[in-house]
Structure 1
Amino acid sequence: MILIRLESKGPIFYYSYRVGMGYKIFKFYKFRSMHTDADQMVEQLKHLNQYANDEAQTIKTKPLTRSIIAYSNHDHILVKDDELFEESEYEQFKALEDKKAFVKINNDPRITRVGKFIRNTSIDELPQLFNILIGDMSLVGNRPLPLYEAEKLTTDKTVGRFLAPAGLTGLWQVTERGKAGMSAESRCDLDIEYALKHNFWMDMKILFKTPLAALQHENV
């Protein structure tokens, strides 16, 4: 706590609104590991998001004008907010947006030096014990998501992750955390698997694996 205060201006504790089980929104507490304007920088750094597929980023979907449609053979046209899109291109565009549902930035410039240490050792997560005590979270579950991530996971394929309690640790953390190349789709699949299969013994196994998983080497 002293080191956090000495290195950068701002509060020792940080909270943000997160979405847990059943889309319940609550204040989520951590030790502050970033500069105080970190949330405002998300939009500026979205091009560094590791979950965004590089190939998908080449998709350029633009609205079609009525004159173009009149002189072409577009059989499947979608209308959205008074704009017209060719169906296959629009589906590609939506696939790109889904890949950006989670945000993971390698060597994130928003993180302080002390913040890097407490994140790599998961010390920054300790204040969430308060969330557990007041009933917002469980020890084991799916990670509660920031609002800007949760609002993109409302489709039939992804909504199942919110059937599980919000957790301090979970299946994704003990199997894939810190591994390079993990897609947003794979992470969501693990969340849904936990939501459908979790039980006491599964939770105990996850808790047993958590101490090793808590140590990571990526600066994210």
Structure 2
Amino acid sequence: MSEIALGSGAPIIALIGFDSNLTAAFAEYNFGNRQTVHFENALKMVSAWVAEKLPIVAIISNSEIMGTAGLTLVETLKKRELPSVPFFLVVNHLNANLRKLALEGGVTDVFRLPLRSAARIEKRVDFLIDNWEGLKNNIETTASIRKIELSKRIFDLIFAGGALLVLSPLFLIVYILIRLESKGPAFYYSLRVGTGYRVFKFYKFRSMYVNADQRIKDLKHLNQYDIDAGDGTKKPIVDHGLCEQCIGYGKCQYPIFADNVQLCEKEFQYTKKASAGSAFFKIKNDPRITKVGAFIRNTSIDELPQLWNVIIGDMSIVGNRPLPLYEAEKLTTDKYILRFAAPAGITGLWQVEKRGKGDMSEDERLMLDNVYAQTYSLKNDLKLILKTIPALFQKENV
């Protein structure tokens, strides 16, 4: 970031996560009296904006739509109550559904790489900045999602609240055991995608060692969904100048500002061949799991903190499982987008239907998610719960 540029007092167009080539290209663009200032990541941009009261008039972020510097950053800016400015994304992957998702989520416009027309980008950015005050209230920022029944919400609050009260002694015991076995916090949260592609914090008991994410690149050949699909070979990983932790993902992991701490969420691994892989990642007998972690997973105790997600309205007791960012971005086609119209839930139709019947394919799981989205109601939820009570806190690897 240039201190000389910041001292000029000129309006700033903040560039986030750009590589040197993209930064140099935008430096040549003509945005009138506005200066472009590059920030390494969203956290640094937000911190500088707040601390130095920067005159930022637009943000251009190099991130996939579901990435941590995409829709997640839009939500963070809203929660921080920072000034509303045009927000642009520069992405590798784009289709009609992704564009619609981005615009409904608060992104002003999306540009796809490689950028071909400097004049078009200059004109579009300048127009939106110049006319932002009159345009911002007319931009659609909420997806059209079927409203959840009041009775279903009341049931969720009563059930989750009662369960938290009854299970509080168990929470304390598990907390102590986790802290005694391995270093690190007993609870953690990751960013998940739920109803209407809304990103939220997903709480669980920690069941893995703290450096578990660093080992994914060494275990991708064990991904059960790829093996089931007939692709059991390990694909070569190409080092594009990334650090040790990021090589396995093929893209830099951008930190984001959340609750006054730096959060590092796994960025979706996007390459030209990403679409050929499975949208889900699952390993049998995963060596990253601790001994206590194996027990709480087998008994589904690790899922219990999600009751808090139900209390605050992120999830429902019954619904479609919320997905990590890198999985959700692969499910934006017309075939799968329906699953995100349903509430995100702790348990759902596919857990109940497939319990005790062996492993399920990815297509089966997504088909059942779509069926639930079309038929969910409190009455049907109660039928699912009564049909198999043990599935209520079903573990991930059903």
Q: Normalised by the shorter chain, which TM-score bucket? A: 0.7 to 0.9
Could you tell me which runs of 5 or more consecutive residues in structure 2 were left unpaired when the two chains were aligned.
1-174, 234-272
In 1: Cα distance, 2:389 partner to 2:296 partner: 14
Which residue of 2 is the match for residue 198 of structure 1? 376
Question: Residue 185 of structure 1 aligns with which residue?
Answer: 363
Q: Does 1:48 align with 2:222?
A: yes
Which segment is superposed worse, 199-208 or 34-43? 34-43
Residue in 1 that maps onto 2:385: 207
User: How many pairs does the alignment contain?
Assistant: 185
Structure number with the bigger relative contact order (C-alpha 8 A, sep ≥ 6) is 1
Amino acid at match of 2:222: L
Q: Is the 8 A contact 1:121 1:214 kept in 2?
A: no
- Asked if 1:173 is matched to 2:347, the reply is no
Residues 48-94 of structure 1 show CA distances to partners (whole Å, capped at 9, x for unaligned) of 111114564289xxxxxxxxxxxxxxxxxxxxxxxxxxxxxxxxx78
Structure 1 stretches of 5 or more lacking a match? 60-92
Correspondences of 1:51-200 after superposition (within 5 Å): 51-53=225-227, 56-57=230-231, 96-97=276-277, 100-177=278-355, 179-200=357-378
Contact 1:51 1:103 in 2 (8 A): yes
Q: Report the alpha carbon displacement of residue 44 of structure 1 after superposing the two structures with TM.
A: 2.7
Q: Which amino acid aligns with 2:353?
A: T
Q: Distance in 1 between matches of 2:287 and 2:356?
A: 18
Deviation at 1:11, TM superposition (A): 0.4
Q: Does 1:32 align with 2:188?
A: no
Instruction: Tell me, in whole angstroms, the C-alpha distance in 2 between the residues paired with 1:130 and 1:215.
Output: 14
Separation of aligned partners in 2, 1:55 and 1:202: 32
Aligned to 2:15: none
Q: Where does residue 4 of structure 1 map in the other structure?
A: 178
Cα deviation, residue 181, structure 1: 3.6
Would the alpha carbon gap of residues 188 and 54 (structure 1) be closer, same or farther in structure 2, given more than 3 Å must change?
closer
Q: Is the 8 A contact 2:346 2:393 kept in 1?
A: no
CA distance in 2, matches of 1:149, 1:171: 19
What amino acid is aligned across from residue 324 of structure 2 in structure 1? P
In 2 relative to 1, CA 143–178 (structure 1 residues): closer, same or farther, beyond 3 Å? farther
Deviation for aligned residue 1:104: 1.5
Relative distance call for 1:112 and 1:154 in structure 2 (3 A) is same
Secondary structure of 2:191 counterpart: strand
Question: What SS does the corresponding residue of 1:43 show, helix, strand or coil?
Answer: helix
Q: Is the 8 Å Cα contact of residues 57 and 96 (structure 1) preserved in structure 2?
A: no
| CA 1:217–1:54: 2 relative to 1, 3 Å | closer
Tell me how far 1:45 sits from its aligned partner.
1.6
Query: One-letter code of the match for 1:30?
Result: K
**SS of residue matched to 2:192:** strand
Moved more, 119-128 or 44-53: 44-53
1:13 aligned onto 2:187: yes
Q: TM-score, normalised by structure 1?
A: 0.76
The structural deviation recorded for 1:164 is 0.5
Distance 1:43 1:94, change over 3 A: closer
In structure 2, the CA distance between the partners of 1:112 and 1:33, relative to structure 1 (3 Å rule), is same
Please tell me the residue identity of whatever aligns with 2:369.
D
Shift of 1:200: 1.7
**Higher CA-based Rg:** 2
Amino acid at match of 1:46: K
- Give me the whole-angstrom Cα distance separating, in 2, the residues matched to 1:198 and 1:33: 31
- Report percent identity of matched pairs: 64
Matched AA of 1:33: S
How many Å separate the matches in 1 of 2:313 and 2:365? 25
Q: 1:156-213: CA deviations, max 9, x gaps?
A: 1111111111001111111224643411111111111101111222100122245323
